[in-house]
């Protein structure tokens, strides 16, 4: 990036150590840092069933839509994005609850 585009990373804000990022309680989603919108796995939209491209595409679409609809008023973009991904977040929370419930069942069986 630095060589080709004269860009450099001044600081790293998030470090991943595993193949799948750590899932925080209640599927917390990080929508933004400043005016940067996060989508897909970076935001926290992770499906425990292993499929992730649809969540990335849907959240990316919602981010783009929020920017387009609120381009003249950047302060409202984040809330529009948050609202636009409400169904996706709810779906992810249900998936993680299902997996969490199954984990308890497996522990009892073991």
Model confidence pLDDT, tens digit, residues 75-98: 999 999 999 999 999 988 888 888
pTM score > 0.85 for this model? Answer: no
Average model confidence (pLDDT) across the chain: 80
| pLDDT surpasses 60 at 40 | yes
Listed in sequence order, the residues at least 6 apart from 43 whose beta carbon sits closer than 8 Å to its beta carbon are 29, 30, 31, 59
- Does residue 106 surpass a pLDDT of 70? no
More confident residue, 28 or 93: 93
Q: What is the mean pLDDT of residues 92-110?
A: 64
Neighbours of 95 (CB within 10 A): 17
At 101, is the pLDDT very low, low, confident or very high (cuts 50, 70, 90)? low
Q: What is the pLDDT of residue 1?
A: 63
Confidence bin at 65 (pLDDT 50/70/90): very high
Helices (runs of H) and strands (runs of E) counted in the chain: 5, 2
pLDDT at residue 35, as a whole number: 85
């Amino acid at each position: 990036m630095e060589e080709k585009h004269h860009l450099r990373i001044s600081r790293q804000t998030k470090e991943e150590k595993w193949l799948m990022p750590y899932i925080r309680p209640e599927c917390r989603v990080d929508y933004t840092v400043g005016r940067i919108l996060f989508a897909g796995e970076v935001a926290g939209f992770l499906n425990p069933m292993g499929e992730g491209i649809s969540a990335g595409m849907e959240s990316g679409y919602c981010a783009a839509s929020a920017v387009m609809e609120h381009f003249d008023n950047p302060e409202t973009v984040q809330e529009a994005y948050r609202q636009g991904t409400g169904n996706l977040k709810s779906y992810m929370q249900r998936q993680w609850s299902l997996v969490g419930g199954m984990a308890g069942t497996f522990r009892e069986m073991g």
